[in-house]
Amino acid sequence: MVIGHVPRVVIAAPASGTGKTTVATGLMAALTRRGLAVSPHKVGPDYIDPGYHALATGRPGRNLDPWLTGEDLVAPLFLHGAAGADIAVVEGVMGLYDGAGSGEFASTAHVARLLEAPVVLVVDAARQSRSVAALVHGFASYDTRLRFGGVILNRVGSERHENLLREVLAESGVPVLGAIRRSDAVATPSRHLGLVPAAERRAPAGEAMEAAEALVAASCDLEAIVRLARTAPPLTVHPWDPASAIDSTAGVPDLAAVLGPAPDAVPAAVPADVRGAGPDGVTVAVAAGRAFTFGYAEQAELLSAAGAEIVTFDPLTDETLPAGTRGIVIGGGFPEVYAADLAANEPLRKEIAAFAGPIAAECAGLLYLARSLDGLPMCGVVAAEAEMTGTLTLGYRDAVAVRDSVLTGSGERYRGHEFHRTAVRPAPDRPLFRWRGGADGFADGRVTASYLHLHWAGAPHLAARFARACRRGAVPSR
């Protein structure tokens, strides 16, 4: 059964910090410039790199993470995201074989195998010559289930250095697909959680993208990379479909009791089927702008399939919620960087504090809903104070919901991810989630707010429940 044949290549590296993101995004931009429709993908939970991918290609950057969605969904989600594309470029995470915990689950190698995609290894060649061949040989021979298509040498010092590297790598049998010289023009600024998101630095990010494109185009054999991508075999799975995913949740309980009686402003007879964009549709306001840049594209697609109309709003500049709002989604980002501006937008903060409908917040959304952030007033929906700390909290979580909420049922298992340098105090006395060595999450019936990032494609009932709760439990805004 041949379902989807998308040419594809995985851009990997021996470790973080080798220039993998620069090469991957530069390659995406260079291929796009040549008239190819390029589908961008990122291994792992990271939100920031896909923003640069979207800038390079004009298509949504999409994550492929076996931990968050289950490995059976990786290829279907890939095909969904790559629909209509001429080629797909998949940027890896960390080192090629680095996975969740001590194993290789959710590693770049794991995803490359699930996609049956050839791997190109980006190697930082600075301050070494013949040792590069030993490094490449080790990575190429470590897992014979992977197919190594070539290597791109990064941070090459000179023409003599490049010639020496090509000579020693010729003995390894792994083709050299590019040799990139050191360049400061493609540098992307970083801060406490990594690269500064593209949405926060549009003009400089565009300039850096153009520089990366020019560097990759001049230094890499694009035709050879395209030929390599076309050697990937057809995938024998069906593309993921948000409507079908919502249909699969028909038997999942709604947990409507946590919302209490439906307000009189909401029709009493609401169809059980949450799909359809007619008069029973609901408006869900999704936070966006420079302070809230993190979100998986599939979340909005699922909510749309569940009958919601998605409208974005910017908590930095919009003084009111979109008209007709019945539910609010506030994802991740950097509110700590913009705390003063968020605090200054008092009209919106007050409207959110008084909002009667369901709210789903993750990480940055939790901080915004708190009473304060670094001493500055926020929305006050969550009875806690938030502040920056010097401690990085990072890692996958195998969590169990221990309370019913507008999204979760007690006893349900969720796989998520934490990534922040903040804390909220006091911690919830009745947390929403527990996992080995930890607990997190506030819930009061209509509101869920947690540090835990969830990929809703792995749990589509979250979208179905939220849409139903919006329809049942909220008086439309204005």
Give me the active site residues, please.
Answer: 363
Return the beta strands (E) in 332-375 as ranges: 359-362, 370-373
Distance (Å, whole) CA 25 – CA 212: 7
- List phi, psi (to 5°) of 12: -120, 180
169-173, long-range: CB within 8 Å, 24+ apart, which pairs?
169/132, 169/133, 169/136, 171/133, 172/133, 172/136, 172/137, 172/140
The C-alpha atoms of residue 200 and residue 205 are separated, in whole angstroms, by 9
Among the listed residues 106, 46, 101, the one whose alpha carbon sits nearest the alpha carbon of residue 73: 106
Q: Is 360 helix (H, G, I), strand (E, B) or coil?
A: strand
Residue 427 zone, left/alpha/beta (φ > 0; ψ -120 to 50; rest):
beta
Query: Burial letters for 187-219: b for 16+ Cβ neighbours within 10 Å, e otherwise?
Result: ebeeeebebbbbbbbeeebeebbbbbbbbbbeb
How many whole angstroms separate alpha carbon 152 and alpha carbon 14?
A: 12
Please provide the DSSP assignment of 158-221 as one string.
-HHHHHHHHHHHHTTT--EEEEEE--STT---EETTEEPPGGGSHHHHHHHHHHHHHHHHHHB-
Here the tokens at position 36 are 């190819």
Q: How far, in Å, are 23, 92, 180, 201, 307 from residue 207 at the CA level?
A: 15, 23, 18, 10, 39
Using CA atoms of 139, 152, 50, 207 in order, give the dihedral in degrees to the nearest 10. Answer: 160
Cα distances (angstroms) measured from residue 422 to each of 196, 294, 368: 17, 16, 12
Residue 223: other Cβ atoms inside 10 A:
9
CB 19 within 8 A of CB 180: yes
By residue count, the chain amounts to 478
C-alpha R_g of the chain: 23
Burial classification of residue 354, based on how many CB atoms lie within 10 Å of its CB (0-12 exposed, 13-18 middle, 19 or more buried):
exposed
| Exposed e or buried b per residue across 59-72, where buried means at least 16 C-beta atoms within 10 angstroms of its C-beta | bbbbbbbbbbbebe
Stated as kind and residue range, the H or E segment containing 54 is: helix 48-57
At residue 273, what are phi and psi to the nearest 5 degrees?
Answer: -75, 120
Q: Take residue 276 and report the two structure tokens written for it.
A: 């359809």
